[in-house]
């Protein structure tokens, strides 16, 4: 099991905030056997384990099967537009950094229609967790190829083998500046829960790409596919393994040490592009650097005093209180 | 006092050579001297080299539009002289540099125009020698020379320029004031010795009662909008760089002490959706964009509509379609703004008509957005954004912040009452006026869901017909409420005599030329006109507008677009067809002279349609 993922802290409200409490009254309408159930459970457990007050959790989702996830969690849930969850969530977090912001969506939503936001969210490093349900297909519209489907693959939903190369979300995330990049698997509840909790605890933009079998349209990456053993150096091993167990450590210990940062980044790239039959789970890369919310204070020092949402602009009688004298400056004649 | 009470000056040159700086100096100098000024800025989508010009009108009267014929053209490049030479009125003057242009090259230059050859380089050389400066570094001062020479011709005392320079060059740059004054003094003295100086009779009288120092503003509309937003408590403005909207963002970035986070986004999809996200938290947020960017925002505005989010969108209109005329103006996004987004949802669409309304609307739009919990689209345009004017200080008296119906948590200590804190709230409760209590993330007891799908009162997806009807109807009831509550003079206003010969219906920046034109029309042409200026387009104040139109003797619309969009909107909303229409679609603003000309064509010649086209 992953070793560099911190165990969730024991919180005083554990009794009152069991994961069950985080289930909304709305019942998921996903297909039986869908990986989305496992991811939703893990999100609820991670919130519960970290004791994030649900009324302070702003949970954004994109559009597609996974987009409905926000409806199933008892917190402030926002089912946004296709591909735009990161734009919504960054707006919310930048406006009110006190919120716990979680984002979820499909691989088509995040790496396809929302690819532009995916790129720039990395550059900003706003403090939030982005969970991508990666099943290689657009399930809700009958299984078209998503950006992660390998070239030449033909899941049953496709009429012919796929002729476009897949995106590598981890390499892309690394190139864009994501400060926490991890992979987990929908049916490995324990690892997923711990990974999500670690991502939520990470201060910065965290990506967790979750392998999520689509039982209806993707008959290539099924639960039994991930369960089966593969042969490595002549001996059978589980297909899914934990990278940390084999000595891989993607966590930068000292972000001011340029050599370490460079070494870890190159090691991550190597790991990301390693050709193997197996599928590694765990953290590819993690670094602690200032978030957007912190960096923006350099230009707006007043944000050291106030959270943006708390900047005062009216009195108790709702009279506006901002003095425009400085803003008019030399425009006063 | 036998001179004029108004002058109309123009300076032009390649972009990046200081046309803006010299116009700014002239505007400021004339403002300091007590005149009312109006500056029109025209430029290309280009950084350096292409032709740009600035038109400055200075008057004893408050003016809010440009005029066409110019009495003095200052230039140091050939293109300005050849492009605008014909616009100089008889007995006007041209200041130019013999090295770059010969008067005989200037087509259409009236024979009565006096030409002044100003040896710009010689003056700079002298200043360089006297001050031991590098002449190459003084080239930008050609602008000061042109302004000083113009002042001498107009009979404006030079000391006003010194005061203006002090306002422009502050702090470390203050040493540039004496340097510029040296060049100015030489040009000012030199032109007075030139042949033809006495022939130029366009001397402007000094202002008898110079307004008290500090009593006015010299400002453009983009800044007025920025200040309105600051006053309203907007502390987040998102944008993707686009002309002319970016001017507002550039201004806001110079004011970090207010804490407005100006977020540069990867595209307008992000800009609009970030505003949606921010507005959900209770932040007063807006995005600033122009045509092409506004197109990209359509889907996100629809989301704000169905989710009842108080998002504010500023679309600084420019010439379209597509990239169109990126640095020119147009009033061609009205129909699009009203209909933006697929499906149907309530939106409030307003357009300011002048600097004061830019400030007022930029303040009020957040109140409207929060009171009616729906997106508000504000439609300024490039003319308002970029024109510089002297105006009184904004009226800040009586301004109130209205946050609308915000949920009040009853849970005192959420950690003590976790059950209560996690309770579900009816964010979309069906109410009589359509407005439901809006809870904000972080509030205990306020949990609800938002979705672009049709939804239940707590925000879960539904396709149930009865709920669909209830929610759709509830959302639209907010527009009825808005129409009842928004003060009438913020919806539309009739300027001028009620018993006019002709009622001109206009919106946005056409207000300025109309108000300037009306007294002259009556005085010089015996035509009594009034102006019905409309500011609220969705919901549309059909009843009030119709009442005015039905009483009018003759009606005409005046808009800077091809298809007379307001004219069509009024027909759609009221069934009334305005009799005549005036349009302009060159991307250049309608001037006072054009407004007069168009109204005369309608009233005197019964022209059904007038197409205006003046200006380069």
The mean of the pLDDT values for chain B is 96
Is B231 in Cβ contact with A300 (below 8 Å)? no
pLDDT for A13: 56
- Bridge partners of B595, per DSSP, are none
CB B101 within 8 A of CB B80: no
Q: What is the pLDDT of residues B513-567, one digit of tens each?
A: 999 999 999 999 999 999 999 999 999 999 999 999 999 999 999 999 999 999 9
Question: If you write DSSP's letter for every residue of B416-485 in order, what string do you get?
Answer: T-HHHHT-B--TT---SSS---B--TT-TT-B-EEESS-B-TTS-B---HHHHHHHHHHHHHHHHHHHHH
Inform me whether the pLDDT recorded for A73 exceeds 80: yes
Determine the pLDDT at residue B424. Answer: 98
Position A79 scores a pLDDT of: 98
Using a CB-CB cut-off of 8 Å, the residues of chain A touching B283 are 95-96, 308-309
Tell me if chain B has a CB within 8 Å of the CB of A40. Answer: no
Q: Would an 8 Å CB–CB cutoff place A332 in contact with chain B?
A: yes
> Given pLDDT bands bounded at 50, 70 and 90, which one contains residue A16?
low
User: Is B396 in contact with A324 (Cβ distance < 8 A)?
Assistant: yes
Instruction: Annotate A38-99 with DSSP letters as a single string.
Output: HHHHHHHHHHHHHT--GGGEEEEE-SSTGGGGGGGBSSEEEE--TT-HHHHHHHHHHH-TTS
Confidence of residue A3 (pLDDT cuts 50, 70, 90): very low
* Residue range B404-415, pLDDT digits in tens: 999 999 999 998
Interface test with A, best of B233, B255, B270 (most A CBs within 10 A): B270
Of the partner residues B216, B277, B447, the one whose CB lies closest to the CB of residue A55: B447
CA distance A197 to chain B (A): 20
ipTM rounded to 2 decimals = 0.96
B342: contact with A, CB 8 A cutoff: no
Which residues does residue A101 pair with via DSSP β-bridges, in sequence order? A58
Do the chains contact at A74 and B447, CB–CB below 8 Å?
Answer: yes
pLDDT at B47: 87
pLDDT (tens digit, 9 = 90+) per residue, B69-124?
Answer: 999 999 878 899 999 999 999 999 999 988 888 878 888 899 999 999 999 999 99
Distance in angstroms (rounded) separating the CA atoms of residues B566 and A74: 47
What pLDDT sits at residue A2? Answer: 38
Q: Does the beta carbon of A163 lie under 8 angstroms from any beta carbon of chain B? A: no
Of A16, A87, A119, the CB nearest to B274: A87
Better-predicted residue by pLDDT, B208 or B135: B208
Q: What is the mean pLDDT of residues A170-180?
A: 98
The answer to whether A77 contacts chain B (CB < 8 Å) is: yes
Q: What is the mean pLDDT of residues B412-420?
A: 91
Tokens (6 digits) for B119: 């040896």
Q: Above pLDDT 90, what percent of chain B?
A: 92
Q: Is B287 within 8 Å of B278 (Cβ atoms)?
A: no
Nearest CA-CA distance, residue B283 and chain A, Å: 6
Listed residue (A74, A75, A76, A140) closest to A105, CA to CA:
A140
- Is A68's Cβ below 8 Å from some Cβ in B? yes
Q: With an 8 Å Cβ cutoff, is A115 touching chain B?
A: no
* Alpha carbon of A48: minimum distance to chain B alpha carbons (Å): 13
Nearest CA in chain A to B210: A333
At which residue do the structure tokens 């998921």 appear? A28
Q: Report the residue from B267, B422, B445 with minimal CB separation from A21.
A: B422
pLDDT of residue A15: 58
Mean pLDDT, residues A26-55: 95
CB contact set of B141 (below 8 Å; sequence gap of 6+)? B124, B127, B179, B180, B183
CB pairs under 8 A between A and B: 234
Name the pLDDT band for A12 (thresholds 50, 70, 90): low
CA dist., res. B457 & res. A25, Å (int): 14
Q: Is A87 on the interface with B (CB under 8 A)?
A: yes
From B225's Cα to the closest Cα of chain A, the distance in A is 12
Q: Could you tell me the CA-to-CA distances from B499 to A154, A273, B531, B544, B551 in Å, in that order?
A: 77, 80, 12, 17, 9
- B305 touching A (Cβ < 8 Å): no
Whether residue B93 contacts residue B74, with contact meaning beta carbons closer than 8 Å, is answered with no
Please tell me which of the candidates A76, A80, A327 has its beta carbon nearest to residue B441.
A76
3-class secondary structure, B386: helix
Query: Domain limits of chain A?
Result: 19-297
Q: What is the DSSP letter of B343?
A: S
Q: How would you classify residue B457: left for phi > 0, otherwise alpha for psi between -120 and 50, otherwise beta? A: alpha
- How do residues B24-67 score in pLDDT, each as one tens digit? 999 999 999 999 999 999 999 898 889 999 999 999 999 999 99
* pLDDT tens figures, B148-205: 999 999 999 999 999 999 999 989 999 999 999 999 999 999 999 999 999 999 999 9
Supply B542's token pair: 């059909």
- When CB atoms are compared, the residue of A299, A314, A333 closest to B401 is A314
A79·B232 Cβ contact <8 A: no
> Which residue, chain included where needed, has tokens 């108004």?
B6
Contacts of A98 in chain B (CB under 8 A): 442
CB contact residues (below 8 A), chain A span 166-195, against chain B:
none
Question: In a 3-state reduction of DSSP, which class is residue A193?
Answer: helix
Question: CA angle, corner B143, sides to B137 and B144, nearest 5?
Answer: 90
Shortest CA gap B185–chain A (Å): 23
Out of A74, A81, A93, closest to residue B422 by CB = A74
Where does A219-278 show beta strands of DSSP type E? 229-232, 235-238, 240-242
Rounded CA-CA distance B374/A109 in Å is: 26
| Helix, strand, coil abundance in chain A, percent, nearest 5 | 40, 20, 40
Tell me the nearest-neighbour CA distance from A147 into chain B, angstroms.
Answer: 20
pLDDT in tens, A238-296: 999 999 999 999 999 999 999 999 999 999 999 999 988 899 999 999 999 999 999 99
pLDDT of residue B101: 84
pLDDT band at A107 (very low <50, low <70, confident <90, very high): very high
pLDDT digits (tens, 9 = 90+) for A195-215: 999 999 999 999 999 999 999
Residue B176 Cα, gap to closest chain A Cα (Å): 17
- Is A92's CB within 8 Å of B265's CB? no
Compute the average pLDDT of residues B347-367. Answer: 98
∠B281-A201-A81 over CA atoms, to 5°?
A: 40
Task: Sketch out chain B's domains with CATH numbers.
Answer: 6-210 (3.40.920.10), 218-392 (3.40.50.970), 418-485 (no CATH), 490-612 (3.40.50.920)
d(CA B489, CA B535): 9
Q: Is a pLDDT exceeding 70 seen at residue B384?
A: yes
The domain defined by A19-297 folds into: Rossmann fold (3.40.50)
Residues in CB range of A323: below 8 A, 6 or more apart: none
Taking CA atoms, B187 is separated from B96, B127, B176, B387, in Å, by: 13, 11, 17, 28
Selected residues 242-301 of chain A with any CB under 8 Å from a CB in chain B: 296, 299-301
In chain B, what residues touch A48 (CB-CB under 8 Å)? none
């Amino acid at each position: 099991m992953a070793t560099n993922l911190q165990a969730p802290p024991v919180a005083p409200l554990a009794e009152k905030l069991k994961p069950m409490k985080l289930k909304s009254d709305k019942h998921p309408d996903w297909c039986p056997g869908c990986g989305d159930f496992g991811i939703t459970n893990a999100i609820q457990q991670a919130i519960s384990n970290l004791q994030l007050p649900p009324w302070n959790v702003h949970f954004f989702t994109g559009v597609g099967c996974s987009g409905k996830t926000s409806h199933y969690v008892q917190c402030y849930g926002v089912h946004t537009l296709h591909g735009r969850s990161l734009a919504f969530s960054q707006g919310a977090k930048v406006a009110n950094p006190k919120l716990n912001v979680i984002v979820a969506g499909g691989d088509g939503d995040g790496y396809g229609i929302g690819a532009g936001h995916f790129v720039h969210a990395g550059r900003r490093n706003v403090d939030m967790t982005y969970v991508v349900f990666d099943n290689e297909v657009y399930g809700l519209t009958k299984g078209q190829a998503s950006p992660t489907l390998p070239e030449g693959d033909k899941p049953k939903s496709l009429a012919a083998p796929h002729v476009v190369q897949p995106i590598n979300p981890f390499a892309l995330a690394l190139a864009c500046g994501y400060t926490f990049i991890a992979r987990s698997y929908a049916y490995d509840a324990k690892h997923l829960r711990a990974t999500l909790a670690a991502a939520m605890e990470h201060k910065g933009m965290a990506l967790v790409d979750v392998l999520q079998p689509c039982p209806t349209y993707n008959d290539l990456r099924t639960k039994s596919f991930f369960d089966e053993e593969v042969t490595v150096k002549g001996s059978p091993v589980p297909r899914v393994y934990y990278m940390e167990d084999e000595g891989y450590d993607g966590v930068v210990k000292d972000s001011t040490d340029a050599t370490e940062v460079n070494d870890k980044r190159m090691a991550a790239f190597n790991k990301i592009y390693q050709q193997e039959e197996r599928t590694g789970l765990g953290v590819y890369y993690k670094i602690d650097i200032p978030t957007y919310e912190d960096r923006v204070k350099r230009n707006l020092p007043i944000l050291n005093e106030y959270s943006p949402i708390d900047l005062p602009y009216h009195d108790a009688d709702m009279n506006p209180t901002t003095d425009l004298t400085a803003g008019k400056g030399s425009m006063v004649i | 006092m036998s001179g004029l009470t108004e002058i109309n000056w123009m300076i032009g040159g390649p972009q990046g050579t200081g046309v803006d700086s010299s116009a700014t100096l002239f505007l400021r100098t004339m403002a300091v001297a007590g005149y009312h000024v109006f500056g029109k800025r025209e430029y290309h989508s280009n950084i350096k080299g292409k032709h740009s010009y600035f038109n400055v009108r200075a008057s004893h009267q408050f003016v809010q539009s440009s005029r066409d014929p110019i009495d003095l053209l200052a230039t140091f490049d050939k293109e300005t002289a050849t492009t605008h030479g014909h616009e100089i009125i008889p007995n006007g003057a041209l200041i130019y540099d013999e090295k770059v242009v010969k008067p005989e090259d200037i087509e259409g230059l009236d024979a009565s125009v006096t030409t002044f050859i100003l040896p710009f380089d010689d003056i700079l050389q002298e200043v360089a020698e006297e001050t031991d400066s590098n002449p190459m570094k003084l080239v930008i001062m050609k602008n000061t020379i042109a302004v000083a020479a113009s002042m001498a011709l107009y009979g404006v005392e030079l000391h006003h320029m010194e005061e203006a320079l002090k306002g422009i060059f502050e702090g470390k740059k203050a040493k540039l004031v004496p340097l510029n004054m040296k060049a100015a003094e030489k040009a000012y003295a030199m032109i007075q010795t030139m042949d033809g100086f006495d022939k130029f009779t366009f001397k402007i009288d000094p202002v008898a009662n110079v307004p008290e120092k500090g009593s006015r503003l010299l400002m453009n509309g983009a800044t007025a909008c920025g200040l309105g937003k600051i006053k309203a408590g907007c502390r987040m403005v998102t944008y993707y760089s686009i002309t002319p909207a970016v001017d507002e963002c550039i201004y806001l970035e110079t004011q970090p002490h207010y804490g407005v986070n100006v977020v540069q986004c990867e595209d307008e999809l992000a800009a609009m959706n970030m505003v949606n996200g921010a507005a959900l938290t209770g932040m007063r947020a807006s995005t600033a964009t122009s045509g092409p960017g506004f197109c990209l925002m359509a889907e996100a505005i629809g989301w704000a509509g169905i989710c009842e989010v108080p998002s504010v969108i500023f679309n600084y209109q420019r010439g379209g379609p597509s990239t169109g005329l990126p640095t020119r103006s147009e009033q061609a996004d009205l129909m699009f703004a009203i209909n933006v987004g697929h499906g149907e949802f309530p939106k409030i669409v307003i357009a300011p008509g002048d600097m004061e309304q830019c400030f007022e609307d930029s303040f009020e739009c957040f109140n409207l957005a929060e009171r009616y919990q729906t997106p508000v689209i504000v439609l300024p345009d490039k003319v308002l954004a970029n024109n510089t004017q002297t105006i009184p200080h904004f009226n800040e008296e009586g301004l109130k912040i209205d946050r609308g119906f915000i949920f009040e948590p009853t849970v005192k200590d959420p950690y003590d009452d976790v059950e209560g804190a996690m309770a579900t709230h009816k964010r979309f409760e069906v109410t009589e006026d359509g407005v439901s209590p809006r809870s904000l993330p972080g509030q205990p007891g306020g949990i609800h869901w938002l979705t672009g799908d049709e939804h239940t009162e707590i925000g879960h997806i539904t396709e149930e017909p009865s709920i669909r009807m209830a929610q759709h109807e509830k959302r639209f009831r907010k527009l009825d409420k808005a129409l009842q509550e928004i003060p009438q003079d913020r919806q539309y206003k009739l300027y001028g005599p009620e018993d006019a010969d002709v009622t001109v219906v206009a919106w946005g920046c056409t207000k300025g030329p109309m108000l300037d034109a009306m007294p002259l029309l009556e005085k010089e042409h015996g035509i009594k006109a009034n102006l019905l200026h409309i500011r609220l387009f969705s919901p549309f104040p059909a009843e009030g507008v119709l009442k005015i139109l039905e009483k009018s003797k003759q009606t005409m619309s005046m808009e800077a677009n091809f298809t007379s969009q307001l004219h069509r909107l009024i027909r759609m909303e009221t069934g009334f067809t305005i009799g005549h229409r005036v349009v302009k679609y060159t991307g250049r603003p309608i001037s006072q002279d054009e407004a007069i000309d168009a109204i005369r064509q309608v009233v005197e010649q019964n022209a059904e349609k007038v197409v205006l086209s003046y200006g380069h």
